[in-house]
Structure 1
Amino acid sequence: MTPVLLPSAGRVEPLAHGPHAHELLHRRDRLARRVAARVGPDGLLRAPCESRVLESALALWLLTAERAAPQARRRLARYLRDTLDGRPPDAVQRALGRAALGTAGPADRAAARELVVDDFTADRKRLMFATLLAELGAGEFPRVRPEAYDVRGQQSWLQLEMTSLKIMAAYGTGAPGLVTGADWDVLAPAVRPGPAWECNNLARLLGLLALRKHPGRRPAVRRALGDVLAGLGADGGLPFITGMGLFATATAGLALVRCGYAGPLVDRMADALAGRQNPDGGFGFHPGVTQSDVDDTSYAVEFLRGTGAARHRRRIRAAERHLLERRNSDGGFPTYARGIPSEIAMTAGAVNALAPDPAHRAVVEDGVRFIAAGQRPDGGFGRGWSRNASNAVFRAVLACDAARAGAGPAARRELDLVRSRAVGHLAGTGNADGGWGHRPGDPSDPISTAYAVIALAGSPEHRPLLRRAVRLLADRQQPDGGYLSRPDQAGPRPLLYDVPALADVSVLLGLAHAPIGPAAR
């Protein structure tokens, strides 16, 4: 990839000079070339998801219950044994994996109760995992309270998932009369032929496990098993989702543009992303996902504006309208739909996307006030879809920076205070090696550290910290130019899933913000 330097937005003092600066630029460019090489002929970044224990355990249980595909069952069992022995995940997934293998013990029955969920979805997640453990024979089904499964107005796959859990619990507790015809209708996408509906293997598996309770629906379940098997990875396991091609394309495009790359490749990425806009004006996380969300829409707007605002003006306006329609009365933004609790990272992303247009000034100011109100006494923020504490921090910092343009003196002082406290939180929670982990005290990993770099980049008073963090990222680069990192994406929260391409993209975005060498923006 040949760099075409974009016009400078103003220089800052570089982190390094001479040979050291040349080395950092060389490492960043190697990573940029690696990220660019992931772009396929369709203009989208290839970002498939790795297999996970949760979905693999459910697939094995389903195939075993249906006495189907013995060879695939052996592959799934091998994947589960190897993963549980070599790379054990969280306690809930360990319990489900052992239950599917028939080796669950007494401690596994308490896994759902002991699950730590630090957001508004906690009760729902405990209900989900308690039900699944019971379905796999490692626990007792919870009593069915119909209101606990009511998620009308929320994301599409959540309705399928919660209805499936309701059916499992109703049959498991001997109360099938609680299941309505409308409940069965909600599960229809689970048996659609082809790839998983909304690219979500978990939702399809839950739907199939529930549908098999109804004798008249068993044939459709068995017909769907071939499509489930088609999603197995080379390792024999099954991933949570198909991939994150649109999210990765938008964030990688932002990183490449900020590094100073422009030209046909970046334009092709932007055009490909724009062509995947949903009819409601928003964007999903992967091609074929019709459920738009604030996160992907915000990143898409930033990328499209940065690489071709004139060419994509109509798309940008439609995406901005999508964001505005989802804004809650508290001034914050949820992930999916108006009325769902607002979240810091989602609000910060929306602020970044909307701030360049003066017409959205009032919305931006309300969004920043929501962020300020959610800041913790130590300057940090809660975790959301990203399990990195540094994710919400860097997004809040960028939102404060974006909101500064056009703000009056008093508003600027408030923005600077929120920003200073957030960056100060990072400064006080870093590790001795110069990096950050998911939470204070966790081992440093490249993604968490890259997010911290973004937050620190515009703070001259923390230049020594920034220099050490960039050095850690440079030292962690693999011989092939890429990165290996503990994943930060979670779904259902707090269960991690791994899209390896995002390690490269996240680090490139971090290095793109760092003032490296004389060409730094």
Structure 2
Amino acid sequence: MVLADAAARSDMIGSEDVALLLSTQRPGEVWEGNLLIHLLVLHALSRLPGNATIVRDGIRTALLHQRDDGGVPFVTDTDTWTAVTAGLALRTAGAPCDSLDRIAQHVQRLQHPGGGWSYTDHARLADTDCTTVALEFLHASDPHAYRNPVQSGIKALLSVRGGDGGFPTYAGTPSEACMTAAVINVLATQGSRYQHVIDEAMAFLAGSQKPDGSFPPGWSDSRLHTLFRAHLATRPFTTGRAPVVRERIVRLVRSIQNEDGGWGKGDGAPSDAISTAYGLIVAAGLPDHLPAVRAAEYLLSQQYSDGRIDAPPDMVGPRPLPYHVPVLSDAFLLLSWAHLTRRVTP
């Protein structure tokens, strides 16, 4: 609608388009928790007569989320995504059980009636990324106590499965390597029950892998993100396509490690802490300990006395726009240390 107005082609704007955008506007509520879309909708509606009150109300709603520094975030929050990611990292690292139980109960309460999870409790549309990590965390917490929510979540994942055997972020969108790897990680916790689904998903993953071992971009602008998730997805399997996918990942990860022991986001990029954390998860599973030792030394050189490690933003959404939630970096960094610790002390 914005483009049609700019091109003086109001004839291209249909009543159904207007009705769709109007349906997202409720005073005090940001549709799906997405302020970027909320503001784009206001730009579109402001170009049409009769919408002045709706636009004013929408502006007031957006300003409710203005931060102390004057800026406005692109979403209201990512609280569910950060909870499941931090929960899995803490579980893997052996955090106190009482804290983990509180997180698990909170995550269970956030599950949608359809079985999935969204990045925030303000969104109704479930996504594969949050759902898979939530399921991994709940299964690791107590596979018996959380059996029903886990099975409901797996059913939700299977409902969005693509005809190509892969899995998308959202229902009806193209399958993605990173999301497919994430689903394999969840299904692998269920024994051989979903082996046929895993086999087809692994075939999609293998078909998505480039000759150099990398994958198409996902929801991170560091190519190491999909690499570590795909590596974990292939690790339990010794037959079929998995060993080939894994071998290519290992070869690539080893070849692109920088002289300082870290990894960068892409070709020729300087080392950064978050890419190195992703690389360390792969390196921690290698027979040769040297890549992991070098990566650990790099990360230790970046750590402050209070435990913080400076890590640049790497999550992107809408792709390729970067966003920064510091606790996400902390969670992935902790996850990498947990994998290394398990290598050192099984």
Contact 1:189–1:204, Cα closer than 8 Å, also in 2: no
Are 2:277 and 1:450 equivalent residues in the alignment? yes
Taking the TM superposition and a 5 Å limit, the aligned residue runs for 1:399-438 are 399-402=233-236, 404=237, 410-411=239-240, 414-438=241-265
| Relative contact order higher in (CA < 8 Å, ≥ 6 apart) | 1
Deviations 1:38-96 (A, max 9, x none): xxxxxxxxxxxxxxxxxxxxxxxxxxxxxxxxxxxxxxxxxxxxxxxxxxxxxxxxxxx
Q: How many residues align?
A: 345
Deviations 1:461-484 (A, max 9, x none): 2x2111111111112112331122
Contact 2:187–2:198, Cα closer than 8 Å, also in 1: yes
Are 2:78 and 1:232 equivalent residues in the alignment? no
Are 2:182 and 1:349 equivalent residues in the alignment? yes
Give the direction of change, closer, same or farther, for the CA distance of 1:300–1:480 in structure 2 (3 Å limit): same
Partner of 2:137: 303
Contact 1:379–1:422, Cα closer than 8 Å, also in 2: yes
Taking the TM superposition and a 5 Å limit, the aligned residue runs for 1:426-505 are 426-461=253-288, 463-505=289-331
Contact 1:326–1:334, Cα closer than 8 Å, also in 2: yes
Partner of 1:199: 33
**AA in 1 matched with 2:122:** G
**AA in 1 matched with 2:16:** A
Partner of 1:211: 45
Question: Residue 355 of structure 1: SS of its match in structure 2?
Answer: helix
Q: Distance in 2 between matches of 1:499 and 1:185?
A: 34
**AA in 1 matched with 2:4:** A
Are 2:59 and 1:242 equivalent residues in the alignment? no
Gaps of 5+ in 2: none
**AA in 2 matched with 1:514:** L
Among candidates 326, 341, 345, match of residue 515 of structure 1? 341
Q: CA deviation at 1:489?
A: 0.8
Partner of 1:69: none
Q: CA deviation at 1:180?
A: 1.3
- Mean Cα deviation higher: 304-313 or 258-267: 258-267
Q: Distance in 1 between matches of 2:43 and 2:323?
A: 22
TM-score, with structure 2 as normaliser: 0.96
Q: CA deviation at 1:189?
A: 4.6
Q: Distance in 2 between matches of 1:480 and 1:273?
A: 28
Question: Residue 174 of structure 1: SS of its match in structure 2?
Answer: coil
Among candidates 165, 176, 189, match of residue 10 of structure 2? 176
Q: CA deviation at 1:195?
A: 4.1
Partner of 1:363: 197
**AA in 1 matched with 2:329:** A
Q: Distance in 1 between matches of 2:106 and 2:342?
A: 30
TM-score, with structure 1 as normaliser: 0.64
Contact 1:388–1:488, Cα closer than 8 Å, also in 2: yes
Contact 1:198–1:291, Cα closer than 8 Å, also in 2: yes
Give the direction of change, closer, same or farther, for the CA distance of 1:217–1:269 in structure 2 (3 Å limit): same
Partner of 2:123: 289
Deviations 1:345-375 (A, max 9, x none): 0000000011122221100111111111111
RMSD: 1.5
**AA in 2 matched with 1:500:** P
Contact 2:284–2:343, Cα closer than 8 Å, also in 1: no
Among candidates 166, 170, 178, match of residue 332 of structure 1? 166
Identity, in percent, stands at 37
**AA in 1 matched with 2:52:** R
Q: Distance in 1 between matches of 2:4 and 2:26?
A: 24
